[in-house]
Structure 1
Amino acid sequence: MKIHFVGAAREVTGSCYLIETDQVRFLVDCGMVQGGREAKARNHAPFPFNPASIDFVLLTHAHIDHSGLLPKLARHGFKGPIHTVSATRDLLEVMLRDSAHIQESDAERATRRHPKQRKPPRPEDAAIYGMADAEQALRQVRPTPYDQRVEAHPQVMCIFREAGHILGSAIIEVWVSQSGGRTTKVVFSGDLGQPGRPILRDPTLIDDADLLFIESTYGDRSHKDQEATRDELARIVEQTLAGGNVIIPAFAVGRTQEVIYHLHRLTREGRIAPINIVVDSPMATQATRITQKHAALFDEAARELVQWKEAGTGLPRLRFTETAQESMALNNVQSGLIIISASGMCDAGRVRHHLFHNLSRRSSAVLITGYQARGTLGRRLVEGHQTVHLLGQDIRVRAKIHTVGGLSAHADREALIGWADGFSKPPRQVFVIHGEDASAQALASALASRPGWTVTVPRVGDVYELPDAVA
């Protein structure tokens, strides 16, 4: 068995792993690289494998850094099925179409710009894929419930388990049969959620694996607990809204819905005064509707939120923008608004306009709720840059920048180790993935200190050929 680390190895985005034996070749995830100057070129580069040779794809969840290159895969010859959880299938309809629209719109703008600049268009200015490719990829998706056996191939059986990261996120158990009658069990953690968070159920504990792929986004740090997180959120809101706005860059899927929950709860408990929340993201609006459709996947906290809404008293004023004109009108409001808008890393979408109008104001605040990849505007804000380039201008950062780690959709160091402790015996080989070098190495060291654990931190481009003793 060979394992190719195509992406998300000593980095957080671009999740993609190729598993091959003498009988089958399949991918786990096929995501976009996000952040950094090299991201666009890497996403445009040819796959380091022939897409037509791939038998099928197993998809852990809908976030673009895990799913965003599926249309490119289909465009270049992949014809097989894409197996994933049913809720993820619904989210992909929104996210892949939105991604294709962005690709086509950016390419069109580049075409218009270059004649004026008298420069030839660059290869990376072309669309990676278009709407037709997204639609083709969607037709190849095969939705499945959690905890149900799926025969992805005569030699491969898998089961999707709850990962607690976003709606439809999954840990995948995979059994690969090989010549000679050997079967290898491979477990992909996907992105694991923090136990005890509202909305989604906690990640499923897995008993055993021969090979384990475990994420490490926050492998070197701890989150605040939920009560301390709500205290911090209440303090930011109360200190800011009297004279300014709170801008929350949030991923449309998962983070937006959880932030709304916390703000509802703080209002219900009387810890903050009645507030005005505006969700300014068409994708978040659609994702929220899909979230409501899959109520069976919620935990008790989410069902409590539904009951609050039905009661209709003691709640914040919440509205979703419908048009671009409504979105632009928000920039005329100087105070009193909490604006939740995508993208979560501040590199695209309507949130950039809200940052443009609020970053230079000392009375406003920006609340960062999740991981910010290297090279993104969100990362520069977190790192304390005094000036950022935004919408063609250099903007002085005077607004307060708050990072609230307890709102992250990713498990922290203790939660990752706790999930790993669920194995009844050490896996034969552990690969620590989906984390920047420092966090991946920190988690790897913690796991390797356990008796019998063999741990590797691979790099992008590495190929591991497993010996017979393991395979």
Structure 2
Amino acid sequence: MNITFHGAAQSVTGSCFLVEAHGCRFLIDCGMAQGGREADEHNQKAFAFDAARIDFVVLTHAHIDHSGLLPKLAARGFKGPIYTTSATRDLLDVLLKDSAHIQQIEAERYAKRHHDRKSDKDAYQAQPLYTLAHVARAMELVQAKPYGKQFEPHPSVRLCFQDAGHILGSAIAEIWLADGQGGTKKLVASGDLGQPGRVILRDPTPIAQADVLLIESTYGDRLHRNTEDTLDELVEVVTRTVPHGNVVIPAFAVGRTQELLYHFVQLIQQGRLPNVEIFVDSPMAVAATEITLKHFAVFDEEAKQLLASARQLKESPHIHFISDVEESIKLNRIRNGAVIISASGMCDAGRVLHHLHNNLSRPECAVLICGFQARGSLGRRLVDGVKQVRMFGEEVEVRASVHTLGGFSAHADQKALLDWAAAFAKPPAQTFVVHGEEDAAQTLARELRQQLHFNVSVPELGQTMEI
């Protein structure tokens, strides 16, 4: 068995792992890199493998950094099945269409700004990575499978999805591969693991056995703040800000937005927050919320509370779901009293850019960052305390207060990752730490060695490991 790490190696985004074993070649994820120019250049490069020779794809969940290059893969000749869960299939249709739409807008904007340049690089960047037609082609290849039931995607492979507790439909992949000697080797890919004890989704499923493990490490070097302290800070920032300004929350449309709304409803019911005007300005988030309700069966024991909250959300005069562009533009006129939740979560595209453009320079406003920000992204620069950013061709002073609410992360922190890994009956023969920046990955690898006696490696981008 060979595994080549074509993405998410000493970085958080662009998850893509090529597995080759006994006449079978498949990908685990095919994600888009996120976080500035370097990520864009990575996405524009040709695949380092022949897409037409890939037998199938195992997709762990719908987030674009795991799924975003599937249409490009289909456009380059891949015709095999894409296996994932039912909820991921539904979310994928929404997210990939939104991705294609954003790329088209960005390409047109780039072409307009650089219309007098003739270099090959400029001509290439003026083209989207893929179109809605490519998305449709990729979606035709998606096959949904339930949690907990084995199936055979190839004569020499068995596959089973288990709940990863990260976002709706997220999965851990258990993969049994023929070893050529009449036996099998078991590969487990964690995908992105959720933080245990969070609202809405179930905790990540413990796995008892693996010969080879791929484990994520997004927060492999830190612990999350507890939920109660996080909610206290949310209440303090919102209460202090809305009398004079607005609160802008860049949030991933899938998972994070629904969790934030759940907490806002609870806090208002408890009297800890006034009836502030909350605007969910993201067509994708609106669609994702509907899909979330459709897949009610995968929720945890707090699902009844979620359903009650969801009904109240639709009935509440203080919470507004916005899809129309004109309605979104009208939000620019609001000077105070608004909480605006909008995508993208890393502030690199989408409607949130317009809300940041209109509110960042106002010291009476606040920005709440509640998810991981990849190196190079606008969100990461704001978290790092930059005083000025360039948006829509002009320099914008950062005078609004910027707050990081780590307790809302959908990723497992270091303790949760180690606890999940400790469930193996014995250490896997080989463990590869992926999907984390170098410091986080190396820190988690060290803890896995010291605490659990794992044989651990942190692969580099493009590296092939023979097993």
What's the TM-score bracket when you normalise by the shorter of the two chains?
over 0.9
Q: How does 1:24-63 map to 2 (within 5 A)?
A: 24-63=24-63
Moved more, 108-117 or 185-194: 108-117
Q: Distance in 2 between matches of 1:98 and 1:37?
A: 20
Q: Distance in 2 between matches of 1:73 and 1:154?
A: 23
- Partner-residue secondary structure (3-state), 2:33: coil
Q: Relative to 1, partners in 2 of residues 1:253 and 1:451: Cα closer, same or farther, differing over 3 Å? A: closer
Q: Distance in 2 between matches of 1:465 and 1:437?
A: 22
Moved more, 122-131 or 284-293: 122-131
The answer on 1:404 being equivalent to 2:405 is yes
- Partner-residue secondary structure (3-state), 1:406: helix
Q: How does 1:145-184 map to 2 (within 5 A)?
A: 145-184=146-185
Q: How does 1:250-265 map to 2 (within 5 A)?
A: 250-265=251-266
Q: How does 1:181-192 map to 2 (within 5 A)?
A: 181-192=182-193
Q: Which amino acid in 1 is paired with 2:443?
A: A
Q: Distance in 2 between matches of 1:185 and 1:23?
A: 17
Partner of 1:469: none
Partner of 2:93: 93
Partner of 2:69: 69
Contact 2:313–2:319 (8 Å) recurs in 1: no
The answer on 1:427 being equivalent to 2:428 is yes
Partner of 1:229: 230
1:451 CA drift (Å): 5.3
Contact 1:253–1:287 (8 Å) recurs in 2: yes
- Map Cα deviations across residues 62-107 of structure 1 (whole Å, 9 max, x no partner): 0000000001111111110000000000011111111122223333
Aligned residues: 466
The answer on 1:15 being equivalent to 2:15 is yes
Contact 1:264–1:315 (8 Å) recurs in 2: no
1:444 CA drift (Å): 0.4
Contact 2:4–2:464 (8 Å) recurs in 1: yes
- Map Cα deviations across residues 410-454 of structure 1 (whole Å, 9 max, x no partner): 111111111111111111111000000010011000000135410
- Map Cα deviations across residues 116-139 of structure 1 (whole Å, 9 max, x no partner): 567663323322111111111000
Q: Distance in 2 between matches of 1:117 and 1:24?
A: 44
Partner of 2:341: 340
- Partner-residue secondary structure (3-state), 1:74: helix
Q: Distance in 1 between matches of 2:366 and 2:49?
A: 45
Contact 2:262–2:309 (8 Å) recurs in 1: no
Q: Relative to 1, partners in 2 of residues 1:28 and 1:358: Cα closer, same or farther, differing over 3 Å? A: same
Q: Relative to 1, partners in 2 of residues 1:451 and 1:319: Cα closer, same or farther, differing over 3 Å? A: closer
- Map Cα deviations across residues 130-152 of structure 1 (whole Å, 9 max, x no partner): 11111110000000111111211
Q: How does 1:231-246 map to 2 (within 5 A)?
A: 231-246=232-247
- Partner-residue secondary structure (3-state), 1:191: coil
The answer on 1:84 being equivalent to 2:116 is no
Q: Distance in 2 between matches of 1:313 and 1:451?
A: 47
Q: Which amino acid in 2 is paired with 1:388?
A: V
Moved more, 122-131 or 287-296: 122-131
Q: Distance in 1 between matches of 2:28 and 2:314?
A: 45
Q: Distance in 1 between matches of 2:393 and 2:80?
A: 42
Q: Which amino acid in 2 is paired with 1:379?
A: R
Contact 1:83–1:141 (8 Å) recurs in 2: yes
Q: Relative to 1, partners in 2 of residues 1:312 and 1:48: Cα closer, same or farther, differing over 3 Å? A: closer
Moved more, 305-314 or 119-128: 305-314
Partner of 1:446: 447
Q: Relative to 1, partners in 2 of residues 1:40 and 1:173: Cα closer, same or farther, differing over 3 Å? A: same
Q: Relative to 1, partners in 2 of residues 1:311 and 1:263: Cα closer, same or farther, differing over 3 Å? A: closer
1:313 CA drift (Å): 12
Q: Relative to 1, partners in 2 of residues 1:17 and 1:119: Cα closer, same or farther, differing over 3 Å? A: closer
Contact 2:60–2:84 (8 Å) recurs in 1: yes
The TM-score, its normalising length taken from structure 1, stands at: 0.96
Q: Which amino acid in 1 is paired with 2:426?
A: K
Partner of 2:123: 122
Q: Distance in 2 between matches of 1:324 and 1:313?
A: 20
Partner of 2:362: 361
Q: Relative to 1, partners in 2 of residues 1:323 and 1:417: Cα closer, same or farther, differing over 3 Å? A: same
RMSD value over aligned CA atoms? 1.6
Q: Distance in 1 between matches of 2:224 and 2:116?
A: 49
Q: Which amino acid in 2 is paired with 1:60?
A: T
- Map Cα deviations across residues 307-331 of structure 1 (whole Å, 9 max, x no partner): 2455789967111113111111111
Q: Distance in 2 between matches of 1:315 and 1:173?
A: 42
Q: Distance in 2 between matches of 1:138 and 1:314?
A: 33
Q: Distance in 2 between matches of 1:238 and 1:115?
A: 46
Q: How does 1:249-398 map to 2 (within 5 A)?
A: 249-310=250-311, 317-398=318-399
In structure 2, the gaps of 5 or more residues are none
In structure 1, the gaps of 5 or more residues are 467-471
Moved more, 299-308 or 440-449: 299-308
- Partner-residue secondary structure (3-state), 2:432: strand
Q: Distance in 1 between matches of 2:9 and 2:163?
A: 23
Q: Which amino acid in 1 is paired with 2:18?
A: L
- Partner-residue secondary structure (3-state), 1:335: coil
Q: Relative to 1, partners in 2 of residues 1:314 and 1:127: Cα closer, same or farther, differing over 3 Å? A: closer
- Map Cα deviations across residues 154-209 of structure 1 (whole Å, 9 max, x no partner): 11111111111110000110000131113100000000010011111110011110
Q: Distance in 1 between matches of 2:413 and 2:176?
A: 28
Q: Distance in 1 between matches of 2:179 and 2:453?
A: 25
Q: Distance in 1 between matches of 2:48 and 2:15?
A: 14
Moved more, 310-319 or 98-107: 310-319
Q: Distance in 1 between matches of 2:312 and 2:411?
A: 31
- Partner-residue secondary structure (3-state), 1:236: helix
Contact 2:102–2:350 (8 Å) recurs in 1: no
Q: How does 1:97-116 map to 2 (within 5 A)?
A: 97-116=97-116
Moved more, 136-145 or 108-117: 108-117
The TM-score, its normalising length taken from structure 2, stands at: 0.97
- Partner-residue secondary structure (3-state), 2:135: helix
Contact 2:5–2:462 (8 Å) recurs in 1: yes
- Partner-residue secondary structure (3-state), 1:174: strand
Q: Distance in 1 between matches of 2:114 and 2:236?
A: 47
Contact 2:102–2:349 (8 Å) recurs in 1: no
Q: Distance in 1 between matches of 2:303 and 2:209?
A: 31
Moved more, 409-418 or 112-121: 112-121
Q: Distance in 2 between matches of 1:117 and 1:111?
A: 9
- Partner-residue secondary structure (3-state), 2:83: strand
Q: Distance in 1 between matches of 2:205 and 2:318?
A: 35
Contact 1:157–1:175 (8 Å) recurs in 2: yes
